[in-house]
Amino acid sequence: MGHTALRPLAQETAALLACGSTAVISHRSAALLWGLLPIYDGPVDVTAAGRDCRSRVGIRAHTSVHLPREDRARRKGLPVTTPERTLVDVAPGLEAGVLERAFEEAIVQRLTDHAGVAAVLHRRPGRPGSSALRDLLGRLEGPQLTRSEAEKRMLGLVRAAALPAPQTNVRIGPYEVDAVWNEQRVIVEVDGYAFHSSRAAFERDRARDADLQARGFRVVRVTWRQIVDRPEATIARIARLLGPS
């Protein structure tokens, strides 16, 4: 009797019940619940404080001598590690670029900020992966270029690479774009800050890019960190879009 299809979060709920009252969803499963990482087919990650929660089919168990209240939250009705604790927990198993995107998504969704992540790192200084996350924080908290400074540096890269000069601060439809190569139908937008300040700004930029693409332009966004830290890769990316000069 009944339907055989599992309801959403049924596996996570079952894993919590199997691991006792102190258990919380953690690691990759928590990152999935918070929307920091894409869907994966692995077992449900659960952390239980003060008891040995045994791994079994469908459950990857982790134990913690103490799981403080400040590292606990609720998401979709389930107990889960906070976004900050989740980032620390998943850091050891992620490539640098994937970790950076997960951190960026947490900022975009306004789930945490630099200070929140720094606080959990301070409480767990020796945690595996904490050094990678601390290095990431150090890079992101470094001196930032203003939008105008970033645009100037980007144009300097274009000149140094002997690429065709774009038109700058040009209106296309209702938008003013940072740089456009009309013949090649390429637009470059320079983000002056490492992350979008809000989810609304993130979505607005995506809608703007989609509209410009519908008008026949290819749109590429570059950040001040890409311009400063990876100038060769940044200009190579633009050059590929422009094609043979």
pLDDT of 3 reads 47
Same domain, 135 and 155: no
> Is residue 201 pLDDT above 80, yes or no?
no
Are 152 and 99 in a shared domain?
A: no
Closest listed residue to residue 245, CA positions, set 159, 122, 132, 169: 159
**Which of the 8 DSSP states describes residue 219?**
E
| pLDDT (0 to 100) of residue 84 | 93
Same domain for 36 and 135, yes or no, is yes
The confidence band for 227, taking pLDDT boundaries of 50, 70 and 90, is confident
Residue 84, class by beta-carbon neighbours within 10 Å (0-12 exposed, 13-18 middle, 19+ buried)?
Answer: buried
Over the stretch 2-57, which tens digit does the pLDDT of each residue have? 445 457 788 899 888 888 888 999 999 999 999 998 777 789 999 987 666 788 88
Q: What is the CATH number for 225?
A: 3.40.960.10
Q: What is the percent of the chain where pLDDT is above 70? A: 88
Residue 188 domain-assigned (yes or no): yes
Whether residue 28 sits in one domain with residue 121:
yes
Q: Give the residue numbers spanning the domain of 42.
A: 10-140
Same domain, 236 and 177: yes
Mean pLDDT (the chain) is 84
Do 123 and 22 lie in one domain? The reply is yes
Residue 163 lies in a domain: yes
pLDDT, tens digit, 9 for 90 and up, residues 75-104: 999 999 999 999 999 998 888 888 888 888
Residue 130 sits in the same domain as residue 170: no
136 and 152 share one domain: no
In a domain, 184, yes or no: yes
* Least confident window among 124-128, 157-161, 218-222: 124-128
Do residues 92 and 117 both lie within one domain?
A: yes
Residue partners of 61: CB distance under 8 A and separation at least 6: 19, 46, 47, 48, 53, 54, 55
In a domain? residue 2: no
